[in-house]
Amino acid sequence: MAIEFLSAACELSKSALKDAMNKGAVWLTPRRGKQRRQRQRLRRATAQLAPGDTIELCYDPRVLAAEAPRADLVEDRERYSIWFKPAGLLAQGTDFGDHCALQRQVEQHYDPKRAVLLVHRLDREACGLMLVAHDAEAAAALSALWREDRVYKRYRAQVRGDLAATRGSAGRIELPLDGKASLSEYTVVGRDVATDVTTVDVVIHTGRLHQIRRHLEAIGFPVIGDPRYGRGNKNRDGLRLAAVAIEFVCPLRKQPAAFALDPATLGW
């Protein structure tokens, strides 16, 4: 059994090993004949190993001890579902575990036989809407929308400074990122003079890594609470960035699909 093999190979107790397996820190690469199959998480302590199988333990007690906020189901459309990912929750797990990831929480919500395939990503520090597919065909069709920039994506953010006074109440940011053309459009929706904070809605037309955060920092208005970009924008309550709206023509139903959060529910 897998648990016996691991117990003999390391100094961890069986209870610690079972916890690691439940949280996705153990990996199995099966070998059948001369071929190795796809690497997969191994969660069953009683799983039988075969000659040639490779088993890995990616053990980090800090990761395994972490607790993640819970995601909320917004709508289930059978072949895909829409979820609210809170700040602090990963979209997808790492080698060291997936118990603090949206994908695993969705898997636990549904029948084990129901596929859970991520269509896009959202930064761990950010919150907002995420779409999850439940079969390979749906995942491929929906992923194509993101890849071809056929999804309307609107975000709500708070930045340090008076953006409207400096650059106008609405504008475009077309600074290239990673050597590629990038476009973000912003609209100022609020201003708090006392805290020197401006609230903006941002629509992105490309999907570069940390696009909104990098674009706003580049023009001198970093997102509040961003741990990576900007100066003078620290915030003990975290990153002020949320994905609040997603719209597209559903390739499965051939009908418009729109999902939106009430920004008032964000609490900032």
CA atoms of 23 and 131, how far apart (whole Å): 23
Q: Do 132 and 157 belong to one domain? A: no
What SS3 state is found at 32?
A: strand
Q: What is the pLDDT of residue 34?
A: 66
Give the chain's radius of gyration (CA, Å).
22
Are 163 and 233 members of one domain? Answer: yes
Asked if 190 and 204 sit in the same domain, the reply is yes
Q: How many domains does the chain have?
A: 3
Q: Is residue 252 part of a domain?
A: no
Query: pLDDT truncated to tens, each residue of the chain (268 aa)?
Result: 999 999 999 999 999 999 999 999 999 999 876 677 899 999 999 999 998 899 999 999 999 999 999 999 999 999 999 999 999 999 999 999 999 999 999 999 998 889 999 999 999 999 999 999 999 999 999 999 999 999 999 999 999 999 999 999 999 999 999 999 999 999 999 999 999 999 999 999 998 999 999 999 999 999 999 999 999 899 999 999 999 999 999 999 999 999 999 999 999 9
- CA dihedral in degrees (143, 124, 205, 129; nearest 10)? 70
Whether residues 71 and 137 share a domain: the answer is: yes
User: 166 with 98, same domain?
Assistant: no
Which of 123, 135, 201, 237 is an active site residue? 123
Q: Do 122 and 168 lie in a common domain?
A: no
- Of 168, 202, 164, nearest to 184 by C-alpha is 202
Q: Which domain holds residue 73?
A: 67-147
Q: Does residue 99 form part of some domain?
A: yes
Single out the residue in 40, 64, 88 at which a domain terminates.
64
Within this chain, do residues 139 and 202 fall inside the same structural domain, yes or no? no
106: CATH: 3.30.2350.10
* E strand intervals along 71-126: 72-76, 80-85, 117-118
98 in catalytic set = no
State how far Cα 18 lies from the chain centre.
26
Q: Is the domain of 58 the same as that of 33?
A: yes
Apex 204 CA angle, 186 and 119, nearest 5: 145
Q: Which residues pair with 223 in a beta bridge?
A: 159
98 and 162 inside one domain: no
Residue 175 domain-assigned (yes or no): yes
101 and 133 belong to one structural domain = yes
CB 77 within 8 A of CB 126: no
Do the domain assignments include residue 254? no
Determine phi and psi for 50, rounding to 5 degrees: -115, 155
Task: Examine the domain organization and report whether 158 and 232 are in the same domain.
Answer: yes
